[in-house]
Amino acid sequence: MEKFPGFPDPFLQRLTTLRFKPRPGIAGKGAGEHLVRKGGASVEFSDFRTYTWGDDYRLIDWNSYARLDRPFVKVYRDEEGIVLHFLVDCSDSMDWGDPHKLQYALKLIAALGYVASSGYNWVKFQSIPGGYFYPERRGRQQIPQFFQFLSKIKPLGKCHLGEELKRYAELNPRPSLIFLLTDALEPTGIEGGIRRLLARGHQLVFLHILAPEEIQPQIRGDFELEDKEWGTRVEVTLDEVALQILKKTVENWRNTLRVFCLAHQIPYLFVLTSSPIEELVLKRLPLAGILK
């Protein structure tokens, strides 16, 4: 049996070259590779400020002193590690599809976690609904442990995704970079939960994961469909006309989500489980400005 996540070595090596590219504003933690606005010890010049008693003489910019006859000190930006929250929808609706949606999401998190750990960032995992939790950890030495954790995750039943996101926002006030991986198949919508996360100052990346069968079912005929998560039943007769209407409906629904994300400056990536993870991580995420 292949060991999770089963990435080939070349791909892993490519991952080590990638770095996250968060927008300014999120809280850092510990030393890392991401420049922050506050003063620090990096080589990245930030600003001048007037010399005050106690400042290191070595920081005085003598050229400025020569021109202005007043001592100024050079201020440099700090470099910190960032905390990445991976929120994964582990409801029963994700336990479906070929390739499997939840497994695909977990492999994607493994890849992103690998990237994060390579860049001295913190990784945190939380399943929705609650049930699996991986605390903030950093460093490449914890990657095997993280992969092992991910490999044991199973679907957790039904949940209201919007409500769970609101609860998560209440419990995690520190602004972080959140990767939300879900199929968003929630009849009551998830927009409320996302708004609550944004209100807390989090930066969100919305990875909308669907199986190809969900946007274009290949089945034809009379069926009694049962909702995987909620058990709701509906009798349908799927012919070309009906499938066209269904396709249009799914498209409208996706567009609604996309427009919502655009309006709230949330990177939205629609991911089909049939697309290779390598392509997603190495091409689409950098193109979306999430990785560099």
Partner 1 sequence: MIFLKPLFLISLLSLLLLLYIVLRRPRREKRVFSQVFLFLRARREALSRISRWQFLKNSILILEVFFLLFLSLSASAPQGVMPPWAGKYCAVVLDTSLSMMATDVAPNRFVVAVSLAREKIEELLSSGNQVSFWELSLNPKIIQNFTSNAHLLESALDKITPSYSGTNIMQLLDLLEKWAAPKVVEVYLFSDLAFSVLPNRFPHLVLHQIGVGEAVENLAIVSANLQGERLWLEIKNFGNKEREVHLKIDGKRVENPSSFWIENMSTQKVALTVTGTKPYIKVEIEEADPLEWDNALYLIRPQSLRVLLVSSTPFIKSALQALGMTVVSVKPEDYNPQISSDLAIFEDFLPDVLPDSPLLIIHPPQGNKLFPWSGLEKEGFPIEVPSSLVEFLDFSTVQFYEVPVLQPGAMIPIAFWGKTPFLFEGVISDHRAVLFAPSLSLSNFPLEPSFPVFLLNVINYLSGEKAGFQSFEETRSDELLEPVLKGEEVLGSPPGLYLKEGAQGFRFYSCAYLSEEESNLLRHTEIERMGATTGSNAPRDLMPFMLSIPLALILIEEILRRKYV
Please, which residue, 78 or 214, has the CB nearer to partner 1? 214
13 binds partner 1, rule: CB under 8 A: no
Nearest approach in angstroms of CB 106 to partner 1 is 17
Nearest approach in angstroms of CB 162 to partner 1 is 14
220 binds partner 1, rule: CB under 8 A: no
222 binds partner 1, rule: CB under 8 A: yes
228 binds partner 1, rule: CB under 8 A: yes
3-state secondary structure of 86: strand
Give the Å distances, CA to CA, from 25 to 22, 37, 174, 200, 217: 8, 9, 11, 12, 42
Instruction: Evaluate whether 64 touches 85 at the Cβ level (below 8 Å).
Output: no
79 binds partner 1, rule: CB under 8 A: no
221 binds partner 1, rule: CB under 8 A: yes
Q: Which of 249, 256, 265, 274 binds partner 1 (CB under 8 A)?
A: 249
Instruction: Evaluate whether 200 touches 173 at the Cβ level (below 8 Å).
Output: yes
Stretch that binds partner 1, among 73-81, 155-163, 227-235, 256-264 (CB under 8 A): 227-235
3-state secondary structure of 249: helix
Phi/psi at 254 (5° precision): -65, -40
Neighbours of 284 (CB within 10 A): 16
Nearest one of 26, 4, 2, 12 to 281, comparing CA atoms: 12
Residues that bind partner 1 (CB under 8 A): 93-94, 96-97, 101, 183, 185, 187, 211, 214, 219, 221-230, 232-237, 241-242, 245-246, 248-250, 253
